[in-house]
């Protein structure tokens, strides 16, 4: 009987996390860790290499890291999935019935969108195609989709300039739930793509409260383009953070919520 697709993807995510933690791993180590055959591990490693998430070596695999690299939507789906779900489960507590919110593009925001049917009479502004379709099909939320130039392989739109200003002009949302590629004390919230950064800046400009959905793998890292300095961020939700890092952000007036 074929393995459940979700189980397969979760195993790949765990394999990737194991290799990132240990920098490299052999097929034998992974077989022992995940209690599957060597053929299964080799297939998983092949898929992860094809997704450009690791480098296969003779008898195993090693971590792949490249400054400024942004994974596409398919690649992000299998990274830190458990952490993203924990963050989403905590984030839904911050949404009240009747709220108007922004849901930024991204896989953590998508996990939050899956929980949106727990709230009544909410309005969601988003530029993510998958999130918009999910909300339309499985919730009663009012959905405002933000048009613009389609960012291929990322399932979202990006826009800039006067045309974008006219779309958001005069609007206000209660909360913006924003994805982030990197977050640090020095640079704030950053993303590799300058056009994506501009879009995110426009989104948070109309929000009363800005909430970052940030798994621990992104903390104390920097990407190319800043979209929010620390003064503009109200809350960060993460599944894990060192106490020393938590204290630094709190000293800057940012609420840190640890999910889980």
Say which residue the tokens 């400009």 belong to: 205
What confidence score (pLDDT) does residue 201 get?
A: 92
Domain 5-65 top-level CATH class:
mainly alpha
Q: Which fold has domain 75-258?
A: Rossmann fold (3.40.50)
- Mean pLDDT computed over every residue of the chain: 87
pLDDT at 55 over 60: yes
pLDDT at 64 over 80: no
pLDDT at 9 over 80: no
106 backbone dihedrals φ, ψ, rounded to 5°:
135, 160
Domain boundaries, the chain: 5-65, 75-258
pLDDT at 67 over 60: no
3-state SS, residue 219: strand
Residue 150: in which H helix or E strand, if any?
strand 149-151
Say which residue the tokens 């180590």 belong to: 29
| Structural tokens at position 102 | 């922004």
Over residues 184-200, the mean pLDDT reads: 91
Q: pLDDT band for position 20 (50/70/90)?
A: confident
What confidence score (pLDDT) does residue 99 get?
A: 98
Between the CA of residue 201 and those of 30, 59, 187, 210, 245, what are the distances in Å? 42, 45, 14, 11, 24
Residues 178 and 213 sit within 8 Å (Cβ to Cβ): yes
d(CA 91, CA 212): 10
d(CA 136, CA 142): 8
d(CA 90, CA 258): 8
What confidence score (pLDDT) does residue 137 get?
A: 92
């Amino acid at each position: 009987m074929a393995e459940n697709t979700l189980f397969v993807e979760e195993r790949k995510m765990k394999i990737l996390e194991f290799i990132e933690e240990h920098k490299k791993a052999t097929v034998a180590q992974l077989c022992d860790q995940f209690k599957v055959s060597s053929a299964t591990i080799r297939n998983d490693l092949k898929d992860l290499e094809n997704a450009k998430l690791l480098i296969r070596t003779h008898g195993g695999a090693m971590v792949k890291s490249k400054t400024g690299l942004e994974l596409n939507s398919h690649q992000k789906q299998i990274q830190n999935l458990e952490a993203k779900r924990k963050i989403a489960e905590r984030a839904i507590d911050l949404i009240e019935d009747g709220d108007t919110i922004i849901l930024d593009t991204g896989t953590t925001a998508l996990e939050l969108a899956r929980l949106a049917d727990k709230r009544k009479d909410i309005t969601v502004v988003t530029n993510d195609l998958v999130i918009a379709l999910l909300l339309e099909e499985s919730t009663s939320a009012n959905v405002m989709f933000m048009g613009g130039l389609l960012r291929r392989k990322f399932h979202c739109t990006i826009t800039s300039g006067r045309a974008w200003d006219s779309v958001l002009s005069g609007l206000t949302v209660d909360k913006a739930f924003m994805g982030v590629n990197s977050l640090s004390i020095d640079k704030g919230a950053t993303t590799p793509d300058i056009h994506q950064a501009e879009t995110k800046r426009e989104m948070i400009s109309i929000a009363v409260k800005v909430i970052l959905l940030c798994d621990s793998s992104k903390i104390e890292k920097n990407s190319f383009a800043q979209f929010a300095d620390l003064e503009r961020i109200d809350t960060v939700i993460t599944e894990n953070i060192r106490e020393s890092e938590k204290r630094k952000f709190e000293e800057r007036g940012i609420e840190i919520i640890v999910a889980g």
